[in-house]
Amino acid sequence: MRAVLAQATAVGLVLALERSMLALKRQQNLDLQRRILDNLNSAILMFDHGLRLSYLNPAAERLLAGSARQLLGHKAGELFLNAGPIEQMLTAALDSDDSVTRRELELELMHSNRATVDVTVTPVLEGTAGSEVLVELIELDRFLRITRDESLYSQQVVTRELVRGLAHEVKNPLGGLRGAAQLLAKQLDNADLQEYTDVIISEADRLQSLVNRMLGPSTRHALRNTNIHEVLERVRSLVSAEVGGRIMLRRDYDPSIPEMQVDREQLIQALLNVVRNAAQAIPAEGEIVLRTRVLRKCFVGSKRHPLVARIEIIDDGPGIPKEIQDRIFYPMVTGRAEGTGLGLSIAQNLLQQHDGLIECTSAPGHTVFTLLIPIQREQ
């Protein structure tokens, strides 16, 4: 009797052990699947039987420029501006029980973004509550964009060095020039002649401040935990005061952006330069949108960071003049009679000190300056 009991207990133990091994194995499998999905460069979307979004991986969040929290539960029509082709593919896949592929589909995304993608839609019949549909999107212009960013980045590093070198060369003799003019002024008896030395001194001062601006802020930056929206609100109120009621400054903030380590004053300066440009570009009345989003696993230049803040400054002005569009980040490039052409080069410089980047796209009525700043940096 005892032997039988012992045997039964042993069998029970073995069964329990097997069950927990199985559970462990399943968990490990799930972890592995999650890791694969998270690191995939293709965007993966899952729609439930009601054709509402039930899953998306980080690449899809990046493509759709939204977080899972914002996007889950939405129908395709609410995710894409031109959802027609994708909706057709969803129904075709469900009707035929087979996957459907379309190449080089031009997607119009929210916030006037676009992407060219290869799309595959596959019905998944294992679900308990009717069939689900899996959508894979492979972004075709993505690789193009990464390499373009990279060359933009290195180009800017070179220009910055060039400008700094030049500015230093000009700065030193300026001090001597000014001092000499002051000495000369003291020696002059004729007050009329002093007018000339005054011109030398004031022009030397003007050049000095120009050169200082070209060199950018000399203080090493003071990184502090900063709420990006506080920075944007400062910029918004400063520019609002300058433009009066002429331009509407609308905010579209993503409250889920965590605090980030930045130099607050430098970031205010960079944003101020960009938002002021937008305000100056709008001839009469118009609108500037300040938009923030958080992106996971996003490239800035050639480096991929786990978490990146994206700030977009969008205006409905006439756009950047065609002839300077490729050069606006260079110093001394300006489209305005009274411009210095330093605003954007300084802003770019400040962003680079945060491992960030500014880029821009422009068409009449829709100009977007995008600032990318890593929140969590790559180790």
Ligand X SMILES: Nc1ncnc2c1ncn2[C@@H]1O[C@H](COP(=O)(O)OP(=O)(O)O)[C@@H](O)[C@H]1O
Interface residue list for Mg ion (CB under 5 A): 277, 343
Distances 133 to 49, 226, 304 between C-alpha atoms, Å: 8, 41, 30
- Nearest-approach distance from CB 316 to ligand X, in angstroms: 10
262 binds, options Mg ion, ligand X, none, Cβ within 5 to 8 A by partner type: none
- Nearest-approach distance from CB 169 to ligand X, in angstroms: 22
328 binds, options Mg ion, ligand X, none, Cβ within 5 to 8 A by partner type: ligand X
70 binds, options Mg ion, ligand X, none, Cβ within 5 to 8 A by partner type: none
- Nearest-approach distance from CB 277 to Mg ion, in angstroms: 4
For residues 58 and 331, which CB has a smaller minimum distance to ligand X in the complex? 331
Q: In the structure encoding, which two tokens stand for residue 279, read together?
A: 């305000």
For residues 67 and 345, which CB has a smaller minimum distance to ligand X in the complex? 345
334 binds, options ligand X, Mg ion, none, Cβ within 5 to 8 A by partner type: ligand X
Identity of the residue numbered 225: N
- Nearest-approach distance from CB 112 to Mg ion, in angstroms: 23
For residues 197 and 277, which CB has a smaller minimum distance to ligand X in the complex? 277
349 binds, options Mg ion, ligand X, none, Cβ within 5 to 8 A by partner type: none
For residues 190 and 209, which CB has a smaller minimum distance to ligand X in the complex? 209
For residues 120 and 266, which CB has a smaller minimum distance to ligand X in the complex? 266
120 binds, options Mg ion, ligand X, none, Cβ within 5 to 8 A by partner type: none
- Nearest-approach distance from CB 338 to Mg ion, in angstroms: 10
For residues 119 and 347, which CB has a smaller minimum distance to ligand X in the complex? 347
- Nearest-approach distance from CB 354 to ligand X, in angstroms: 19
281 binds, options Mg ion, ligand X, none, Cβ within 5 to 8 A by partner type: ligand X
335 binds, options Mg ion, ligand X, none, Cβ within 5 to 8 A by partner type: ligand X
Sequence-separated (6 or more) residues with CB below 8 Å from residue 32 = none
DSSP 3-state percent helix, strand, coil across the chain (nearest 5): 50, 25, 25
- Nearest-approach distance from CB 370 to ligand X, in angstroms: 12
- Nearest-approach distance from CB 337 to ligand X, in angstroms: 9
- Whether 44 and 60 have beta carbons less than 8 Å apart is answered as yes
For residues 66 and 343, which CB has a smaller minimum distance to ligand X in the complex? 343
| d(C-alpha 296, C-alpha 58), whole Å | 6
Q: In the structure encoding, which two tokens stand for residue 74, read together?
A: 């939405």
**Complete DSSP assignment for 156-212:** HHHHHHHHHHHHHHHHHHHHHHHHHHHHHHHH---HHHHHHHHHHHHHHHHHHHHHH
Binding site for ligand X (CB under 6 A): 273, 277-278, 281, 315, 317, 319-321, 328, 333-336, 339-345, 367
Measured from each CB, the residue nearest to Mg ion is 343
For residues 70 and 280, which CB has a smaller minimum distance to ligand X in the complex? 280
E strands, the chain, in order: 43-47, 53-56, 100-108, 114-124, 132-139, 224-226, 247-252, 260-262, 286-300, 303-315, 357-363, 366-376
**Complete DSSP assignment for 219-236:** SPP--EEE-HHHHHHHHH
| d(C-alpha 373, C-alpha 148), whole Å | 18
Residue 250 CA to its chain's centroid (Å): 18
Burial class (CB in 10 A: 0-12, 13-18, 19+), 232: buried
